[in-house]
Chains A and B, each alone.
Chain A
Amino acid sequence: MRLTCPHCGPRDRREFYYYGASEYLNRPGPEAAPDAWDSYLHLRDNPAGVTQDLWYHEQGCTAWLKVTRNTVTHEILAVEAVAGGTK
């Protein structure tokens, strides 16, 4: 599996650390109800098909990336930087 980092180009899967569903970007506000935190931290759509998740280019540019990919075929559909917009 290869991910095309917007900064570094196509790189081997081993350079990346996988964090989990892109849900982690939607951190509830300080006023949010406990349910919102439970949902944010634990509950997952966990789709069999297209999903979006977070990968960290640990052994490259150290950018956090939002990856759109298919969990059934392992096809990578899009990779964008979380910070600083897309490229």
Chain B
Amino acid sequence: MRYSGLRVITEGLFGNRGWRPAWRDPAPKAEYDAIIIGGGGHGLSTAYYLARNHGLTNVAVLEKGYLGSGNIGRNTTIVRANYFLPGNSEFYSHSLKLWEKLELELNYNVMHSQRGLINLFHSDGQRDAFARRGNAMINQGDDAILLDRDGVRDLLPYLDFDNTRFPIYGGLLHPRGGTARHDAVAWGYARAADKRGVDLIQNCEVTGIDVQNGRVTGVQTTRGAIRAKKVGIVVAGRSSQVAAMAGLRLPIESHILQAFVTEGLKPVIDHVISFGMGHFYISQSDKGGLVFGGDLDFYASYAARGNLPMVEHVMEAGMTLMPMIGRARVLRSWGGIMDMSPDGSPIIDKTPVDGLYIDCGWNYGGFKAVPASGWCMAHLMATGESHEVARRFRLNRFATGHLLDEEGTGSQHNLH
């Protein structure tokens, strides 16, 4: 069924009786050409591009819960291409281009909104760093505008410009940055993959990976054994556990990241804004809620909830930057489990086990990467070669010293 405005009107006129489930609910087959473990954003987009770009349709996505129950449904939905290092820069640039055509591609409204992202800076040194980043973005073919204090004031008059402790010097504006509806991205890819013949199998936890003579032969699941010569591990915060099933030890530590949403308000914040002097960033959802967050709780964790010190810090930083939000009531807070790598950049690579591939290390920036990650992981699984824009996301780069340390904080998982 194609979705369209006409369809919505027609269905409305006839009592909405014509809508059908957006995807099938198939039982697992005994064997597939390829299995994707994990039905989050990256797993679903990988399956979709395997079918779309490489004609591989005898594919299953195995999800232990329901589709979209992981980080894909827990993030703060920022989509941007403002990376600095070669390796990251071309990858996120490719992803943003895919985002810009995603709704047509999937025939699904993912509410991608390029409302502009503004990273504030508060000192001469920070301004210089952002100017360099902006230049790197422009060199990559993306967009960046360095705003001075008055330029920021024109766009964001409600910030506290009288703050003398953290004065606002300006901001780096990335006009094509913005947000999208996270669940819709999972649902859109799920529906489009299903339409091309991919089996989406929910409530199916992978409990073992079968390896014979160094080659993967299939997986064990709570719904029985399934054979496949190619298996992709795409499980974000659970990467270490699933990789361990094949005897692998990963450069990943799982950490908790929290986020918050207020009651719905009239439109007041038109952009995505990040504070440069504390852990705080914010946008307003189309429903009106202020969606905001900060940084990791900083200790390894698998609890999908955080602790109060980071809650307090985020609230303080928000009040410092924009005191006007002080009267908004926070409705909910939650946490997600982040697969932190030692340099803050991801991994899309083969593993030492033949036929077993891994896509992980998304830290807290994997939402914007969903299209390009699926594109490149599918390319790798179908052709056996890294895609050009993901060629530096190697599993062994830590051993060889080819780190992609965007923030320059060194090999400590929680500092990225």
Contact = CB atoms under 8 A, between A and B. Distances in A.
B249 A43 contact: yes
A10 interface: no
Nearest to B396: A38
B399 A34 contact: yes
Interface in A1-22: 1, 12-14, 18-21
Contacts of A1: 307
B303 A74 contact: yes
A44 B299 CA distance: 14
Nearest to B410: A41
Contacts of B303: 71-74
Interface stretch (B2-10, B135-143, B250-258, B374-382): B250-258
Looking at chain A's contact residues, is the secondary structure mostly helix, strand, loop, or mixed? Answer: mixed
Contacts of B238: 48
A20 B410 CA distance: 13
B76 interface: no
B411 A21 contact: no
Contacts of B300: 20-21, 46, 51, 53, 71
B309 A18 contact: no
Contact of B302 (A19, A42, A71): A71
A35 interface: yes
Nearest to A35: B399
B240 A46 contact: yes
B301 A71 contact: yes
Given A46-B254, A51-B300, A41 B307 contact: no
Nearest to B296: A18
A41 B241 contact: no
A72 B302 contact: yes
Contact of B398 (A14, A42, A72): A42
Interface string B330-372: 0000000000001000000000000000000000000000000
A46 B253 contact: yes
Interface in B238-276: 238, 240-241, 249-254
Interface residues of A, number: 27
B307 A21 contact: no
Nearest to A1: B307
Contact of B252 (A34, A46, A48, A74): A46
A53 B298 CA distance: 12
B411 A42 contact: yes
Given A39-B249, A44-B252, A72-B302, A18 B240 contact: no
A67 B68 CA distance: 34
Nearest to B249: A43
Nearest to B237: A48
B386 interface: no
A43 B244 CA distance: 12
B412 interface: yes
B413 interface: yes
Contacts of A39: 249
A39 B302 CA distance: 22
Contact of A41 (B250, B398, B414): B398
Nearest to A51: B300
Contacts of B411: 41-42
Interface string B309-324: 1000000000000000
7 contacts: A44-B250, A44-B252, A45-B249, A53-B299, A53-B300, A55-B299, A74-B303
Interface of A: 1, 12-14, 18-21, 34-35, 38-39, 41-48, 51, 53, 55, 71-74
Given A18-B298, A53-B300, 10 more contacts: A13-B309, A18-B299, A41-B398, A42-B398, A44-B251, A44-B413, A46-B240, A46-B252, A46-B254, A71-B302
